[in-house]
Amino acid sequence: MKIYISGLYSGTSPQPGVGLSRSLRIAYPDATLIGVDYSNRSSGIHWPGFDDLWLQRPWEELDLAAYGALITDLLEGGALWISGTDLEALWLASVFPDGHANLLSPLAASLSRIAKPGVEAHQGLPLQIPPFISTEHSDWDLHAFCRKHDWRVWLKGPYYDAVRTSSWDVFEGARAGLSKVWST
């Protein structure tokens, strides 16, 4: 059994890849575990529990169509893939909208239920979603919203990332950064 595990960073905002490999090694001692990451700076690439490492180009440099074809070939060949990064899981959900028997990652329909700000998955829980505005509104409306809330505003990505904005300049910089990461 060959299992590809992505998301190896183990720093301040850790990804689950190393922990997954530990658990899988105990459960399946004869499995071949292959770590996958998109940065040669990722601390988890040095984890000795992997049998091999598949280091990719940084995400923004990948030819996603070609990479999707490679992953499809691996899955069709019987390998398993466990996605440990949010961006990769979102992308895999678009490549395999109905899933794949060997892809252990959420379907697009599941991921759509947890997107911010209108998190559908909160329904039935004793939680409230705070006031929000989409960055698709005009700059005039966004500035008015921030002023109304005394600049105690967090600019958030659709699934993760959050930046506190204390001024319009900070807001614009954060919006540009998040737009680049999330292609929004």
**Does a structural domain hold residue 146?**
yes
**Does a structural domain hold residue 117?**
no
Which DSSP symbol is given to 130?
P
Q: What is the number of structural domains in the chain? A: 2
Q: Among 71, 88, 97, 110, which Cα is nearest to 15's?
A: 88
Instruction: Give the chain's mean pLDDT.
Output: 88
- In tens, the pLDDT along 51-106 reads 999 999 988 889 999 999 999 999 999 999 999 988 899 899 999 999 999 999 88
Going by their DSSP bridges, the two strands 162-165 and 153-156 should be labelled as antiparallel
Q: pLDDT band at residue 184, thresholds of 50, 70 and 90? A: low
State which of 77, 112, 147 marks the end of a domain.
112
Count how many residues are written for the chain: 184
Contact present, 17 and 7 (Cβ < 8 Å): yes
State which of 73, 89, 112 marks the end of a domain.
112
**Domain check: are 128 and 158 in the same one?**
yes
Contact present, 69 and 41 (Cβ < 8 Å): no
Contact present, 132 and 117 (Cβ < 8 Å): yes
- What CATH number is attached to the domain comprising 73? 3.40.50
State which of 112, 142, 169 marks the end of a domain.
112
Q: What is the pLDDT of residue 120?
A: 65
**Domain check: are 54 and 8 in the same one?**
yes
